[in-house]
Amino acid sequence: TLFRSKQPTKNAVVLQPEKFLDQVELNVDNHPEIAKQIAMIHLTKEDLAIIRQLHEFVIPHLDEMTTDFYDAVELGSGLMQIIEKNSSVERLKVTLRRHIEEMFHGTVNEAYIKQRITIAHVHVRIGLGTKWYMGSFQAFVSALTDIIMNLEMKKEDHAKSIKAVTKILNLEQQLVIE
């Protein structure tokens, strides 16, 4: 009927962070500086719960996301050579896929921080410049924005989702660039 498009359908997603709070963890007790970094971007347990709820909608797009990522990497200078020298596109696709998936578990704890410190060290060792890391990272920001905006949601939930996801991506970059 005429007004149907305005009605929520069975595909509509309603954010319910309270339902996911018990599945998330925000524990950086051993890292006072990182606690301040988290406070600065106002990343809360509620954001992690939102991210946890969005997990199932991100999973189906992981292959596409890693492909977009490598399309971006190919546009950088010398990056494919760095990959071929230290790893392979196929291996890194698996690593990256798992990494993005884990990002949506809503768990920011000791293991999470340690893993990001490892990534930072690996990238330094292989000589990946910060500008190329930042540049290729945009592929994830763009893909995740599309995924969220394509969900049928009310405007406030779209805004909350985008903010929660960009906060976790921002923290990721803060930790890996250090």
Closer to ligand HEM at the Cβ: 86 or 170?
A: 86
Smallest distance, Å, CB 136 to ligand HEM? 4
Rounded distance between C-alpha atoms, residue 78 and residue 13, angstroms: 42
Rounded distance between C-alpha atoms, residue 83 and residue 150, angstroms: 32
Q: Which positions from 61 through 80 interact with ligand HEM, judged by CB under 6 A?
A: 73, 79
Quick one: which H or E segment has residue 108?
strand 107-108
Q: Which of 87, 109, 130, 142: binder of ligand HEM (CB under 6 A)?
A: 87
The contact pattern for ligand HEM, residues 106-135, with x = CB under 6 A and - = no contact, is ------------xx--xx--x-x---xx--
Widest Cα–Cα separation across the chain: 61
Rounded distance between C-alpha atoms, residue 128 and residue 163, angstroms: 28
Burial tier of 178 (Cβ tally within 10 Å: 0-12, 13-18, 19+): exposed
Closer to ligand HEM at the Cβ: 153 or 175?
A: 175
Closer to ligand HEM at the Cβ: 157 or 172?
A: 172
Closest by Cα among 117, 119, 141 to 28? 117
The contact pattern for ligand HEM, residues 27-66, with x = CB under 6 A and - = no contact, is ----------------------------------------
Closer to ligand HEM at the Cβ: 112 or 132?
A: 132
The DSSP symbol for 4 reads: G
Rounded distance between C-alpha atoms, residue 56 and residue 25, angstroms: 18
Choices 24-32, 41-49, 82-90, 155-163 (CB under 6 A): range interacting with ligand HEM = 82-90
- Catalog residues that contact ligand HEM under the rule CB under 6 A: 73, 79, 82-83, 86-87, 92, 95-96, 99, 118-119, 122-123, 126, 128, 132-133, 136-137
